[in-house]
A = this chain, B = another copy of it.
Amino acid sequence: MATRVGRYTIRLDQPPSVMGYASVVGKKEGEGPLADEFDQIEEDTTFGEKTWEKAESRLQNTTLNKALGKADITPGTVDIIFAGDLLNQCIGTSYGLREFGIPFAGLYGACSTMAESLAMAAVFVEGGFANVAAALTSSHFCSAERQYRLPLEYGGQRAPSAQWTVTGSGAVILGREGDGPYARELTFGRMVDLGIKDQSNMGAAMAPAAADTLQHYFDDTGVSPDRFDLIVTGDLGAVGSNLLRELLQKEGVTLGENYNDCGLMIYDRDRQDVHAGGSGCGCAASVLCSHILNNMKSGHLHEVLFMATGVLMSPLSVQQGQSIPSVAHAVHLSTSR
């Protein structure tokens, strides 16, 4: 049974365990500082397919297969899968996962999807709604660029605040039993919109949602940030993560050296020309399912607060003059139950 803690947080009394996880990334991500941590680096960004969208589907398909393999289970063992992506109608997910025959609950959380899907999977397993559940998402630089921004062939200049969409995917399989890490607490965020309209500054749009959810988690649980070995956001990048520190500081919450952002971890910003850092659903997903979970398994990290943030706009809504609402969901992962 779960216990609600405060207004926003859910404590899982029988924390589900990670049974397996996997990450697959593209060439550029494989040239970054986390190269040794991914399960697979694909040199061919098409993943052998003829369109970027099909490439993203192949990426999700490969990642789920790897996670199932590492968990040593077949698709028939998985009771439900939670997944989504950035593409219109989430076709990276539907075409990537249709062949598995696993009951499917589609999500749309933009870049918050890894935390949203992981939280959903944890709920279903903890409550006995599923014995085994999978959580999955992806992004692909080329499918995202042409949908959200400009044709790649145009070669447009990018603003310094812009981020680079990660070509990558991460999948987690959760079950009732296992040797961890465990999902212990969940905080589902509410939408926050402070009026940002600049599509080239997603970090600024997302930081207030990240601050809102983190503040809720700390208020609800009464713990302070130093309880964690790592507090990690999904893809705020350089602009957004600095803003997050500032916003929380105003509320009296100080994020210390234990705070980092997947968008700052996945690339070497000095060397890789990614401006403010990485972004996309696949950013948080591939960093969680490599560096973070690897370090939890090896005992280098014990208490991790993983929070992914997403912007809930579309190119059309921005063209229509709308500002950009964002959302952030947090999952407390722990090596102890």
Chain A contact residues, CB within 8 Å of chain B: 1-4, 8, 10, 51, 53-54, 79-80, 84, 86-91, 93-95, 97-98, 100-110, 116, 120, 123-124, 126-131, 188-191, 193, 312-317, 320, 322, 325, 327, 329
Contacts and interface: CB of A to CB of B under 8 A. Distances in A.
Contacts of A123: 123-124, 127, 129
A116 B105 contact: yes
Given A54-B320, A127-B127, A131-B4, A191 B94 contact: yes
A100 B325 CA distance: 12
A127 B129 CA distance: 9
Contacts of A106: 84, 107-110, 116, 312, 327
17 contacts: A1-B127, A4-B79, A53-B320, A89-B110, A89-B314, A90-B108, A91-B312, A91-B322, A94-B317, A95-B322, A98-B191, A102-B190, A103-B188, A106-B107, A106-B116, A123-B123, A123-B124
Nearest to A320: B51
Contacts of A110: 89, 106
Given A10-B129, A98-B191, A123-B124, 7 more contacts: A53-B317, A54-B322, A89-B110, A91-B317, A101-B190, A107-B107, A123-B127
A100 B191 CA distance: 8
A126 B127 CA distance: 9
A106 to B, nearest CB: 4
Nearest to A191: B98
A190 B83 CA distance: 13
Contact of A2 (B87, B93, B97, B129): B129
Contacts of A327: 104, 106
B104 A107 contact: no
A134 B104 CA distance: 20
B325 A95 contact: yes
Nearest to A312: B94
B1 A191 contact: no
A94 B101 CA distance: 30
Given A107-B105, A123-B123, A91 B191 contact: no
Nearest to A1: B128
B314 A88 contact: yes
A127 B90 contact: no
B109 A105 contact: yes
Nearest to A216: B103
Contacts of A131: 4
B312 A90 contact: yes
B104 A89 contact: no
Contacts of A98: 191, 193, 312, 325
A192 to B, nearest CB: 8
Contacts of A193: 98
